Structure 1
Amino acid sequence: MDILYLLIPLSALLVLALLGVFGWALNRGQFDDLDDEGLRILQTDDLALDQRQPPADVSLQESP
């Protein structure tokens, strides 16, 4: 029963920390444009990730 005196304040501090991180992310604009960020991974990049890597072959990509 004595452990509750430790666990209840720790859980309250954890909730406040999580709310603080969420508020920080909200103010930094992390949730401003959810639709475009979800579609961005589906778009192809023609740029090579490495200088030694050949560019993406356009003929292998499916057209929408």
Structure 2
Amino acid sequence: MSDFFYLIPISIVLGAIGLVVFLWTLRDGQYDDLDGAAERILYEDDEPRRDQQKNNS
């Protein structure tokens, strides 16, 4: 029973840290564009990269 006296505060502190980190990333704009990165890989650039142009010449 005495184990709960230190496990409960530890779990509350870890939960508060997780909440603070989540709110920090939310305010920082981490979740603003969820589909952009997933769709960006589907589009091919029309111009070759500069390092590929140097290797071909």
Q: Percent identity?
A: 41
Q: How many residues end up aligned between the 2 structures?
A: 51
More helix by share: 2
AA in 2 matched with 1:17: I
Moved over 4 A (4+): none
- Superposition TM-score, scaled by structure 2 size: 0.71
State how far apart, in whole Å, the 2-side matches of 1:7 and 1:42 are: 48
Aligned with residue 49 of structure 2, among 47, 50, 59: 47
Q: Match of 2:38?
A: 38
Following TM superposition, by how much is the alpha carbon of 1:40 offset from its aligned partner in structure 2, in angstroms?
2.3
Following TM superposition, by how much is the alpha carbon of 1:41 offset from its aligned partner in structure 2, in angstroms?
3.3
Larger relative CO (CA 8 A, sep 6+): 1 or 2? Answer: 1
State how far apart, in whole Å, the 1-side matches of 2:41 and 2:11 are: 37
Following TM superposition, by how much is the alpha carbon of 1:44 offset from its aligned partner in structure 2, in angstroms?
4.2
- Superposition TM-score, scaled by structure 1 size: 0.64
Show structure 1 runs of 5+ residues with no match. 56-64
- Give deviations 1:10-53, integer Å, cap 9, x for gaps: 000011000000000000000000011222233446437xx5xx
CA RMSD after TM alignment? 1.9
